[in-house]
């Protein structure tokens, strides 16, 4: 990806766009939040629940306890595996696609590229240790995702990053405006 210098000309439309739509989009991004801790918790609860129901049904039919536990563990394990596959795949991808469509309807490609570069620095400094951040960084380096997908994935796991990105855009725009008008020149 070519690097263009951030200037007032390419930050002004983005800053204006964010100032108008930021509150609505931030609310929508929080509705599509994927909490990484829940990706482990929900499959465990699903598997345990199916196992308990299976054990209860087998006890109802007077199956010996040692056999009932073994027979109940099989559907519990299968439910856990299916649920884990769902929450680590389709569930996340659906949330990312919803956020991507939201971002596509809000930003044009130039603004998405600019915001993507700004978001990359924020993610690196604030969320760099997270598993999703390192996975997303490697996908972006291998060019498996465009700017819209990259932003959508970031905001799916960290919707608070939207506010940080907007603040950084406003800050950079103000700095570029002052440089252009000569306020910093003595």
Q: If pLDDT is split at 50, 70 and 90, which confidence band does 151 have?
A: very high
Please report, to the nearest 10 degrees, the dihedral formed by the alpha carbons of residues 137, 142, 146, 152 taken in order: -30
Q: What is the pLDDT at residue 186?
A: 43
Distances (CA, A) of 167 to 20, 51, 159: 13, 48, 14
φ, ψ of residue 154 to 5 degrees: the values are -60, -50
In angstroms, how far is CA 124 from the centroid of its own chain? 14
Which tens digits make up the pLDDT trace of 74-130?
999 999 999 999 998 899 999 999 999 999 998 888 888 889 999 999 999 988 888
Distances (CA, A) of 74 to 58, 60, 71: 13, 18, 6
Which tens digits make up the pLDDT trace of 17-36?
888 888 888 899 999 999 88
DSSP string, 103-149: HHHH--HHHHHHHHHHHHHHHHHHSTTSHHHHHHHHHHHTT-S-HHH
150, two tokens: 């990259």
């Amino acid at each position: 990806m070519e690097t263009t210098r951030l200037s007032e000309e390419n930050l002004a439309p983005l800053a204006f766009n964010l100032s108008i739509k930021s509150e609505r989009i931030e609310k929508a991004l929080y509705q599509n939040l994927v909490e990484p801790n829940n990706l482990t918790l929900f499959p465990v609860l699903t598997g345990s629940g199916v196992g308990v129901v299976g054990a209860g049904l087998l006890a109802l039919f007077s199956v010996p306890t040692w056999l009932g536990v073994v027979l109940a563990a099989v559907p519990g394990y299968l439910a856990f595996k299916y649920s884990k596959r769902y929450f680590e795949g389709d569930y996340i991808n659906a949330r990312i696609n919803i956020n991507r469509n939201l971002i596509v309807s809000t930003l044009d490609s130039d603004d998405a590229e600019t915001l993507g570069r700004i978001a990359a620095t924020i993610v690196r400094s604030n969320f760099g240790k997270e598993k999703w951040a390192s996975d997303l960084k490697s996908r972006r380096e291998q060019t498996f995702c465009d700017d819209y997908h990259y932003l959508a994935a970031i905001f799916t796991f960290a919707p608070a990053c939207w506010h940080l990105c907007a603040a950084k855009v406003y800050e950079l725009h103000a700095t570029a405006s002052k440089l252009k008008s000569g306020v910093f020149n003595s």
